[in-house]
């Protein structure tokens, strides 16, 4: 919060402050193309997120009116039923899949186990959600699956197969199941495994909120779903249909929507585990060129010219740019040296602003500790008592 206030104060301080905005937080480095709090960093796309409605950039896969987005896994029309605004699994009809293919995604899906409770364990309200057709997030009536105080369990089951589990791999963190017949939600974040040829670079992950409760916390997949066995991960196309399971029970689904999201390896310039120095440096260079094109080294307002050039070198430090900074810095200090006390007082904010910009670059080792510009400005600030507590 303090930083936000400082930033707002800096932005409010005038035109020089506007161009110095990039020299506020720590500067770009080998793993980050942007500074901390970088005003040059592109703003995220706006998405409308109205209560009870899919986000504006979502692909609606089922809105209660049509099965148009779905087909059997043989590519034929599905025999699943459209009933009272829900998509209902039909015994023997087989799995269904989306006609469209997807990779990494955010998926919202609502489901209800049959009102009429039949069967036990895996036979009670079983279906499943398979991002890319290979990784099952279990759908099951697990409402009564719990050990009661007397040690009994009305519907015992294996933990890695109950609702919210990554089937055959990881139980849900808790059992957030509602009663059979009641609508339940899954909000899923799915990242597919990343391969380089036959070499696994990252196993991918699944995060699941069941009725708003976190049940899978960024689970990194161990394999592809099967029954009983541990089936290792294996390369597959980067886009595949989403599948829903027919396990013989009339489980219903509604409000299914999906947002495609970037792979954690798609943009290697954001820092994090996938940061690639060559990509980071290329983007920094591009930003530096863009900023330099907007800079005006001949600006009679030398402080403004300095701010722009100092920002440029925070992205890319070349001898040519450093020499330009040195030349303007020399002229700027000479100009200030010719001003009387009153005139210097009138430029207090500007002088402190340039000194602060130098400090950011020195702190980040873009400029040396013995930077002449900073030393010259600090001398004026001290002599004028600009930062003396009153």
22 binds Mg ion (CB under 5 A): no
Pairing of strands 59-62, 252-260: antiparallel
Residues that bind Mg ion (rule: CB under 5 A) add up to a total of: 5
Applying the rule CB under 5 A, the residues between 136 and 155 that interact with Mg ion are 138
> Of the two residues 248 and 349, which places its CB atom closer to Mg ion in the complex?
248
Binding mask 30-69 for Mg ion (x = CB under 5 A): ----------------------------------------
Pairing of strands 213-220, 86-88: unpaired
Q: Exposed, middle or buried, 71 (CB in 10 Å: 0-12/13-18/19+)?
A: middle
User: Which residue's Cβ lies closest to Mg ion?
Assistant: 128
Rounded Cα–Cα distance for residues 337 and 343 (Å): 11
Q: What is the largest CA-CA distance in the chain?
A: 92
Applying the rule CB under 5 A, the residues between 165 and 224 that interact with Mg ion are none
Q: Exposed, middle or buried, 170 (CB in 10 Å: 0-12/13-18/19+)?
A: buried
CA angle 99, 135, 166 (to 5 degrees): 135
Q: Exposed, middle or buried, 4 (CB in 10 Å: 0-12/13-18/19+)?
A: exposed
Rounded Cα–Cα distance for residues 26 and 360 (Å): 7
> Of the two residues 160 and 220, which places its CB atom closer to Mg ion in the complex?
160
Applying the rule CB under 5 A, the residues between 233 and 262 that interact with Mg ion are 245, 247
* Minimum CB distance to Mg ion, residue 166 (Å): 11
> Of the two residues 126 and 356, which places its CB atom closer to Mg ion in the complex?
126
Q: Which of 22, 28, 125, 128 binds Mg ion (CB under 5 A)?
A: 128
* Minimum CB distance to Mg ion, residue 96 (Å): 13
* Minimum CB distance to Mg ion, residue 112 (Å): 15
> Of the two residues 135 and 202, which places its CB atom closer to Mg ion in the complex?
135
* Minimum CB distance to Mg ion, residue 60 (Å): 24
* Minimum CB distance to Mg ion, residue 130 (Å): 9
The separation between CA 137 and the C-alpha centre of its own chain, rounded to angstroms, equals 22
> Of the two residues 226 and 323, which places its CB atom closer to Mg ion in the complex?
226
> Of the two residues 27 and 225, which places its CB atom closer to Mg ion in the complex?
225
* Minimum CB distance to Mg ion, residue 190 (Å): 16
> Of the two residues 128 and 241, which places its CB atom closer to Mg ion in the complex?
128
CA angle 374, 379, 380 (to 5 degrees): 100
Contact between 130 and 136 under an 8 Å Cβ cutoff? The reply is: yes
> Of the two residues 210 and 308, which places its CB atom closer to Mg ion in the complex?
210
Rounded Cα–Cα distance for residues 124 and 191 (Å): 29
Applying the rule CB under 5 A, the residues between 98 and 127 that interact with Mg ion are 126
DSSP three-state, residue 203: coil
* Minimum CB distance to Mg ion, residue 113 (Å): 12
* Minimum CB distance to Mg ion, residue 167 (Å): 6
Rounded Cα–Cα distance for residues 173 and 163 (Å): 11
> Of the two residues 89 and 378, which places its CB atom closer to Mg ion in the complex?
89
> Of the two residues 128 and 164, which places its CB atom closer to Mg ion in the complex?
128
Contact between 215 and 209 under an 8 Å Cβ cutoff? The reply is: yes
Q: Of 10-18, 131-139, 262-270, 360-368, which segment contacts Mg ion by CB under 5 A?
A: 131-139
Contact between 71 and 100 under an 8 Å Cβ cutoff? The reply is: no
* Minimum CB distance to Mg ion, residue 200 (Å): 25
* Minimum CB distance to Mg ion, residue 8 (Å): 52
Contact between 106 and 189 under an 8 Å Cβ cutoff? The reply is: yes
Contact between 111 and 247 under an 8 Å Cβ cutoff? The reply is: no
Which spans of this chain sit near Mg ion (rule: CB under 5 A)? 126, 128, 138, 245, 247
């Amino acid at each position: 919060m303090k930083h936000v206030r400082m930033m707002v104060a800096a932005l409010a301080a005038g035109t020089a402050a506007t161009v110095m905005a990039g020299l506020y937080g720590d500067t770009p480095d080998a793993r980050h193309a942007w500074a901390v709090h970088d005003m040059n960093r592109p703003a995220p796309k706006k998405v409308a997120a109205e209560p009870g409605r899919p986000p504006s950039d979502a692909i609606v896969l089922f809105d209660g009116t049509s099965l148009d987005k779905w087909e059997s896994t043989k590519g034929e029309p599905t025999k699943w039923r459209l009933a009272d605004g829900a998509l209902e699994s039909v015994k023997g009809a087989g799995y269904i899949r989306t006609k469209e293919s997807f990779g990494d995604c955010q998926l919202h899906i609502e489901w209800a186990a049959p009102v009429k409770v039949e069967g036990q364990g895996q036979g009670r309200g079983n279906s499943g959600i398979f991002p890319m057709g290979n990784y099952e997030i279990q759908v099951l009536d697990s409402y009564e699956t719990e050990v009661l105080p007397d040690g009994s369990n009305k519907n015992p089951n294996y933990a890695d197969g109950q609702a919210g589990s990554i089937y055959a791999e990881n139980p849900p963190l808790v059992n957030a199941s509602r009663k059979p017949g009641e609508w339940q939600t899954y909000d899923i974040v799915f990242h597919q495994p990343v391969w380089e040829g036959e070499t696994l670079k990252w196993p991918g992950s699944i995060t699941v909120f069941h009725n708003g409760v976190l049940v899978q916390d960024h689970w990194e997949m161990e394999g592809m779903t099967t029954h009983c066995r541990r089936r290792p991960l294996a390369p597959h196309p980067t886009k595949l249909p989403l599948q829903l399971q027919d396990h013989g029970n009339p489980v219903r689904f509604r409000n299914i929507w999906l947002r495609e999201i970037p792979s954690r390896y798609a943009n290697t310039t954001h820092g994090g585990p996938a940061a690639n120095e060559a990509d980071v440096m290329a983007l920094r260079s591009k930003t530096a060129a863009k900023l330099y094109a907007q800079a005006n080294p001949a600006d009679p307002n030398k402080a403004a010219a300095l701010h722009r050039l100092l920002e440029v070198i925070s992205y890319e430090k070349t001898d040519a740019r450093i020499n330009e900074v040195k030349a303007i810095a020399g002229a700027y200090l000479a100009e200030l040296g010719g001003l009387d006390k009153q005139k210097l007082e009138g430029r207090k904010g500007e002088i402190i602003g340039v000194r602060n910009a130098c400090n950011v670059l020195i702190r980040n080792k873009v400029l040396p500790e013995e930077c002449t510009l900073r030393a010259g400005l600090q001398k004026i600030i001290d002599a004028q008592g600009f930062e003396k507590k009153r």
